[in-house]
Amino acid sequence: MLVRDYTELDFRAVCRIYIDAKRDELQFESGEFEITPLDQDAVILAAFKESTVVVFEDSEVLGFAAVHDNQLRALFVRRDARGIGVGQALLDAAFSMNAAGLVLNVAKSNIGARKFYLRNGFLAVGEADRTYHDKTITYIQMKFASLNANVWQQPTD
């Protein structure tokens, strides 16, 4: 098991992980979402390509993280690989890419992801609405405070 730099050979696996994880990310939003695959979403694909991307591999790619400047743009783990440390390893790698700290946006309805980031020293600093396929999603803006901050914010609905 290792976290390594992304290569073009990983793209198909990353696309599969993205579509399933994006569905899971938005599962608690009202209404149904048609998820555009990464390779067909020009805006998301451009953001992906300008990011530094790492993958977690254990004989196959189980997850990936994308960072641009100090923003964690993506951290997606294959559904069957969640809860075994893949996300933590990817977040640790993202931290190592940016010593100044990270910021991120997480769907307000995605309580599991919000708790994960809170446990890792992130604090909610605001909210922003974004549109995905003509549906508004509220995102919590989070900023890394400190692993030693000893602050825990209860996720609210």
- 101: pLDDT confidence band, cut at 50, 70 and 90? confident
User: Please, which pLDDT band fits residue 33 given cuts at 50, 70 and 90?
Assistant: confident
Cβ(88)–Cβ(96) under 8 Å? no
**Is it the case that residue 156 has pLDDT exceeding 70?**
no
pLDDT tens digits for range 44-85: 999 999 999 999 999 999 999 999 999 999 999 999 999 999
Taking the model in full, what pTM does it have?
0.89
Cβ neighbours of residue 84 closer than 8 Å, sequence gap 6 or more? none
Between CA 65 and CA 72 the distance in angstroms is 7
Tens digits of per-residue pLDDT, 122-145? Answer: 999 999 999 888 899 999 999 998
pLDDT value of position 146: 67
Tell which wins on pLDDT, 156 or 10: 10
| CATH code of the domain made up of 2-144 | 3.40.630.30
Q: What's the token pair of residue 48? A: 């992906």
